[in-house]
Structure 1
């Protein structure tokens, strides 16, 4: 993949659209005063976005428009977009501008049985912006989805969750010890959010990144599969093979990358993981 240069021009001159979410974007919100950032996070009048990408077929059902937010509290060892960890690396975008961007594609998304997905980073780090954007998109009649690590799920009310047709929950691990190893944080709030979604009967997909030597632990996957099956609302499980497409970002950002020499899982390894989730009665691929 072509390595994109650091984008440091004025935010208003930066395209909202990226060729891919792997494009490097940094420092685009540095000029926004901290007081304005705090106000925006509280009101949702403005969000910080890495970019929009169009034509996605892997971020929810159908063909999707995806908005990638910045800011994340996890430090996943296999993260392919560490530039999205920092809020001010994103483009400051007013809520109205974000709504207008989705509106451009609304008719096409409905015709292609697709929709709009908010991903990240971690979109619920900007929960007010996310909630207001989802409410506006639902009024367009467009299917909505969020890809989230779930730790800030309590920030959304039950009514706000009704504006999200599908929650794609990125499950990093099931045991607290393994979760801390992978992300640096505990997962009690993640599991609580999953149970809450179950009680509310909200449709979910689960995602699990398979990393040889880090997450390809059969007993961990079996426990996660059993937990997912117990929820009763998991429509499918996606096993995502680890890749090195974001390695260059770790290097350019001068962050220690522990998986620099790790290899993607074999086809057999992926098949074994899929089989574990299917054995629990879940649809998995």
Structure 2
């Protein structure tokens, strides 16, 4: 288990918004979605990045353990961490032996109740304390337009996490003219309210900070004419989504 290898694109030593407390964050390589607003396009390919074992990854993170107050610990993001489930499971198993809080930031797009995927993901969830689940769009057709894939597996993953009572933070990126219409927000609000295991519901305003990455990679940025949402737009979305009703709400 200690020698199980993964591909890591980057790390962040003091993440403050990706799970409880301060977190050491691993951004893994590889993603099956092509979200039009993605701010980590360099993580799309399954190749590249840094190869490291679970033991090496834990030792890198443990240097910062003294800063993990208020439930802090390790978060694995991406890319899509579920594509490297065996590596993350190995890392989290070692982390739990040290009493470290574990968190994954995922779209859930590769979830399946079929084998062998189901067993790999349930093993990972067994050593995961919190799941940050990004729901891109509640409408299947609009989700496909936005990401290149429909949301069937994502919504089923959300339902499965509710079935096993896994603590979840829901995240929704607010993109003017794409994810902010009242009907879709109301549908998303109703879906999340019916889960019963959501500790926090976060509206993440779309931003254009990654445009330079697309230029460097020679990729056309698809939302070049889309403005960032105003504070008023974000407040309206939070009201429709009723984010203040969730236990861990912070503004």
Q: What's the TM-score once normalised by structure 1's chain length?
A: 0.80
Local SS of the residue matching 1:89: coil
User: How far apart are the structure 2 equivalents of 1:44 and 1:199?
Assistant: 32
1:192-212 deviations in whole A, cap 9, x for unaligned?
111111010000000000111
User: How far apart are the structure 2 equivalents of 1:106 and 1:137?
Assistant: 11
1:242-275 deviations in whole A, cap 9, x for unaligned?
1111001111111121211221101110000000
User: How far apart are the structure 1 equivalents of 2:235 and 2:4?
Assistant: 45
Tell me, yes or no, if the aligned pair for 1:47 and 1:94 is still in contact at 8 Å. Answer: yes
User: In the alignment, what sits opposite 1:145?
Assistant: 103
User: How far apart are the structure 1 equivalents of 2:92 and 2:110?
Assistant: 16
Say whether residues 1:133 and 2:91 are aligned partners: yes
Say whether residues 1:88 and 2:52 are aligned partners: no
1:165-192 deviations in whole A, cap 9, x for unaligned?
1000000011210110110001111111
User: How far apart are the structure 2 equivalents of 1:98 and 1:271?
Assistant: 38
Which gives a bigger RCO, structure 1 or 2 (Cα 8 Å, sep 6+)? 2
Tell me, yes or no, if the aligned pair for 1:229 and 1:282 is still in contact at 8 Å. Answer: no
Tell me, yes or no, if the aligned pair for 1:226 and 1:280 is still in contact at 8 Å. Answer: no
Tell me, yes or no, if the aligned pair for 2:168 and 2:197 is still in contact at 8 Å. Answer: yes
Measured on the aligned residues, the alpha-carbon RMSD in Å equals: 1.9
Alignment of 1:10-29 (within 5 A): none
Query: How many angstroms does 1:96 deviate by?
Result: 2.0
Gapped regions of structure 1 (runs ≥ 5)? 1-42
1:146-175 deviations in whole A, cap 9, x for unaligned?
000012234344343121110000000112
Gapped regions of structure 2 (runs ≥ 5)? none
2:21 to 62, 73, 81: 62
**Cα gap change, 1:108/1:282 in structure 2, threshold over 3 Å: closer, same or farther?**
closer
User: How far apart are the structure 2 equivalents of 1:72 and 1:205?
Assistant: 20
Size of the aligned set, in residue pairs, is 242
Say whether residues 1:164 and 2:128 are aligned partners: yes
Say whether residues 1:123 and 2:87 are aligned partners: no
User: How far apart are the structure 2 equivalents of 1:63 and 1:230?
Assistant: 30
Alignment of 1:71-220 (within 5 A): 71-109=30-68, 111-154=69-112, 155=117, 156-220=120-184
User: In the alignment, what sits opposite 1:237?
Assistant: 201
Local SS of the residue matching 2:194: helix
Tell me, yes or no, if the aligned pair for 1:103 and 1:140 is still in contact at 8 Å. Answer: no
Q: What's the TM-score once normalised by structure 2's chain length?
A: 0.91
User: How far apart are the structure 1 equivalents of 2:55 and 2:200?
Assistant: 33
